[in-house]
Structure 1
Amino acid sequence: MDGDWFGMAASAAGGGVFGVVGTALGRLAGYFEMRQQNAFEEKKWAHDVSLARLTMEADAVRSEMELATEREAGAWDGLSASLHAQAALVSGYPFVDAIRALTRPALTLLLWVITALVFFNVDAAEKARIVETAVFAATAATLWWFGDRSSPTLRSGKT
């Protein structure tokens, strides 16, 4: 009977040790499984972030393209309106249309002729001030008059 108690105690101790080792191995396996699951989740989150970033970039490009399309449509609408307005100005008299077309160039030429006359015919004492003022006016008028005829996209600063 002594052997039976000893055998039973050894079995209980062996079962306990085996149970503890089994639990430790289960926990160790659970740790590695959880670590693998976390690594998978991190990769999934990184993928989701990357996908969201790509979606935002695509939406931004799409919005920019829509804005550019609207801008171009507006430019064409402006050009069309300008052409219709220009057609409405045609009087039917070629002489009147020629005078209207030559107004800005003639005024520009006249302004530069006046500037040259002032430059060559003014006293030296007043020449610097008058010439500076005349050159300023002539340059501003030339650039304004002919710059005003540029395309709408150039005037708005967008290419």
Structure 2
Amino acid sequence: MADIAGLAASAAGGGIFGLIGSVIGRAAGLVERRQEQAQERARWEHESRLMDLQMQAKRQASEDDLRLADVAGGWQGLNASLAAEASIGESYRWVSAVRGLTRPCLTLLLWVITGLVFLGSGAAARSEIVETATFAATAATLWWFGDRGPRRDPH
């Protein structure tokens, strides 16, 4: 009987240790799956941030391309304007006099308008309005008088 009791105790002890081993194995499997899920979540978050940064970089590049196209278009317009100005030949003296007075009169008028806008606008709107008017007046002044020196005959 002692043999049967020893055999039963051995079977029960082996069963208990087997169950404990299974529980530990299952617990380790759950911990591994949670770690894998956490790593997968971290990878997806990293990829999501990376995609956001790539989209932001593409958006910035598109904005830069638009600004560059705008500036390039402005320079092309300036070149066309210079070419048109150069193609105007001599005319009657009064036509040349009126053309000669147009730019100074318009420039003075632009600066007067800029001053009146500055003095007449409220503090809230003053900044944008004055910046725009100053830009226009400065651009006109420099464009109209910037390249007006006497021209020498190349021959």
TM-score interval, normalised by the smaller of the two chains: 0.5 to 0.7
CA drift of 1:4 comes to 2.0
Instruction: Point out where structure 1 has 5 or more consecutive residues left out of the alignment.
Output: 110-146, 152-159
1:78 aligns with 2:77: yes
- Structure 1 residue 46: deviation in Å? 1.4
| SS at 1:79 equivalent | helix
Report the counterpart of residue 96 of structure 2 in structure 1: 97
Instruction: Look at both structures and tell me which one has the larger radius of gyration over its CA atoms.
Output: 1
Distance 2:83 2:49 in 1: 50
Query: Distance between the aligned counterparts of 2:59 and 2:105, measured in 1?
Result: 49
Identity among equivalent pairs (%): 45
> Partners in 2 of 1:35 and 1:75 — Cα distance?
59
Counterpart Cα distance in 2 of 1:92 and 1:77 = 25
1:83 partner SS: helix
- Count of aligned pairs: 113
Deviation at residue 20 of structure 1 after TM alignment? 0.6
Deviations 1:96-125 (CA, angstroms, capped at 9, x unpaired): 323223247669x9xxxxxxxxxxxxxxxx
Residue 85 of structure 1 aligns with an amino acid whose one-letter code is A
| Greater RCO, 1 or 2 (C-alpha within 8 Å, sep 6+) | 1
Q: What does residue 12 of structure 1 align with?
A: 11
Report the alpha carbon displacement of residue 29 of structure 1 after superposing the two structures with TM. Answer: 1.1
TM value normalised by structure 1: 0.60
Q: Say if 1:86 and 1:66 are closer, same or farther in 2 by CA, change over 3 A.
A: same
Q: Deviations over 1:48-89 (max 9, x none)?
A: 11111111111111111111111111111111111111222x
Q: Output the aligned Cα RMSD.
A: 2.8
Q: Which runs of 5+ in 2 are unaligned?
A: 109-135, 141-155
Shifted more, 74-83 versus 3-12: the winner is 3-12
Q: Answer yes or no: is 1:28 the counterpart of 2:27.
A: yes
Structure 2 vs 1, CA of residues 102 and 80 (structure 1 numbering), >3 Å: closer, same or farther?
same
